[in-house]
A and B are shown apart, each in its own frame.
Chain A
Amino acid sequence: MLELENVHVSLRGFPILRGVSLEVPEGRIIGLVGRNGAGKTTTLRAIMGLVPVRSGSIRFERADLTRLPAHRRASLGIGYVPEDRRLIGPLTVEENLLLPAWAIGMRDAPDRLRWIYRLMPEVEELAGRRAAQLSGGQQKLVALARALMPGARLLLLDEPFEGLAPAMALRMGEILRDLQLKGMAILIAESDLHRVSALAARIYTIERGEIQATGEGE
């Protein structure tokens, strides 16, 4: 479904990704594990088109993403949850969820919103609140819900468990498992192997911008 082949990214002349290749198949959770600065976030950002790819290729289903403008990727069914959540503070939770629908003109937005609320009832309870007023954990769930709006096929999550209270982390894992069973492809960037080993079908270890090892999950 998603395939990166020998992807190189340099920022301000420094090589950040040095030939990253990985594959995220349909209905699977894949882990990308590495220390801070190893290139996890940059890998996700390259898939979203937020950093330019110097060489190599990124393919999603039949589309070649490598040179596709960043704003046209969400509409292919890709959702992105950045590490620091980045909700739009002055807008309400529901407005945050609807932003991608307005941006790409989703016709089935009301249905999709209902579907997300069924999956995550705790987000529906927050619908009218301003995003800036939420706790960190709530923001994380809302950011996931927002990514699900356009992201019906592939989800990219950057440290989804970071800073979550244990109960909230369990809930996050449960939702991700649920999405996987619904056939979604999920790529999780994570610095702590233990957080993803139970979820992931395969784990890529990344170090200094290179994939070091590939292993099966538990």
Chain B
Amino acid sequence: MERRGMEQLAIILIDGLVYASWLFLISAGLTLIYGVLRILNLAHGSLYAMGAYAAASAVLFYFDRGLWPPGSYVALLGAALIIGIVAGPLIERGLLRWIYGRDPVYQLLATYALFLILEDGMKLVWGVNPYYAYKPYGLLGTVQLAGIPYPGYSLLLIGVALLASGGLYLFLHRTRVGRLVVAIIHDPEISVALGANVPRLFLLTFTLGAILAALGGAFTAPMISVVPGLSVEVIVLAFAVVVIGGLGSLEGSAIGALLVGVVRSLMVHRIPELELFAIYLVMALVLLFRPQGLFAIEEVRRV
């Protein structure tokens, strides 16, 4: 009985970790973009959905050619990069740069409009029928975890999230450009006065955020049927995680994702009726005690 209890705990934790990885991928870009550009991008979910569609198309195309199956993971990655690198700069240069510093309501309306346009755009390109690109999921088979077979692909998702968060950390804390981005997050105006090329760094950050969203979509595509409407679910969850963690804080998003991931997993296994409620429960509790979220952007002490 005790052994069974331990097994169940392990599964709850791993399930939670897998879900947290996915949550981190969808929210990291959103919070990074907010931190630097100060725009809450309602179209973030659309970048995720485009990543998912592009990845599904790429995988289907890849297997149609009868190519070496493990290479399909590279196809997933490539699809995400292409979406991020093409759509990111188009959106930033074409729309966002006109609304920097405007009233937040105006910015929300503009990115909401973009979301609607992208939704229909995706229907035009990919149609409304579902895409099933499950082969990369099956390739990894199952792994025995605490004596229970567990899908290997879920563990890959943890790996992708760890790589993304580690890469982001190194970028922001070890590279010159990264530390300029940190400076802009904390004080855009003084950064400009020190010579930071803010328009270029905005473009870079938005593209990076777009790649992260597309990456989340691309690596989720093999686990789901890719259908219209993906964006909405994602944007709601990503908002919740970002608000829990504190707007603009990557550390906050990571902790928020873990918190929501584990609580949700606990609910799924123990009180399944409350699965969806779990996220909002965590959010409500956090906001009750820390209205600014767990990690609000740190300000220099003003004496």
Contact = CB atoms under 8 A, between A and B. Distances in A.
B179 A163 contact: no
Contact of A132 (B177, B192, B196, B298): B298
A: contact size bracket: 35 or more
A99 B182 CA distance: 10
Interface string B289-303: 000000000111111
A203 to B, nearest CB: 24
Contact of B183 (A72, A75, A99): A99
A134 B303 CA distance: 10
Contacts of A136: 301-303
A29 interface: no
Contact of B189 (A50, A98, A104): A50
A102 B31 CA distance: 24
A88 B196 contact: no
Contact of B300 (A73, A86, A149): A86
Given A86-B300, A89-B301, A80 B180 contact: no
A94 B197 CA distance: 20
Contact of A48 (B193, B299, B300, B302): B193
Contact of B195 (A85, A90, A103, A163): A103
Interface residues of B, number: 24
A20 interface: no
A43 B176 CA distance: 31
A131 B182 CA distance: 13
Given A89-B298, A89-B300, A132-B300, A102 B179 contact: yes
B135 interface: no
Contact of B303 (A71, A73, A149, A163): A163
A119 to B, nearest CB: 19
A136 B300 CA distance: 10
Interface in B194-224: 194-198
Interface centre among B180, B183, B194, B301 (most CB of A within 10 A): B194
Contacts of A82: 190, 193
Contacts of A150: 194-195
A164 B169 CA distance: 36
Given A86-B190, A132-B301, A91 B195 contact: no
A139 B196 CA distance: 21
Given A82-B190, A85-B300, A131-B300, A91 B182 contact: yes
Interface centre among B195, B300, B301 (most CB of A within 10 A): B195
B120 interface: no
B186 A88 contact: yes
Contacts of A75: 195
Interface of A: 48-50, 70-75, 80, 82, 84-91, 95, 98-100, 102-104, 131-132, 134-136, 139, 146, 149-150, 163
Q: What 10 pairs between A and B have smallest CB-CB spacing? A: A136-B303, A74-B195, A102-B176, A103-B195, A104-B195, A100-B194, A89-B300, A103-B196, A86-B190, A88-B183
25 contacts: A50-B192, A70-B193, A71-B195, A71-B196, A71-B197, A73-B193, A73-B195, A74-B193, A74-B194, A80-B193, A80-B194, A82-B190, A86-B189, A88-B300, A89-B298, A89-B301, A90-B182, A90-B298, A91-B179, A95-B179, A100-B194, A100-B195, A131-B300, A136-B301, A136-B302
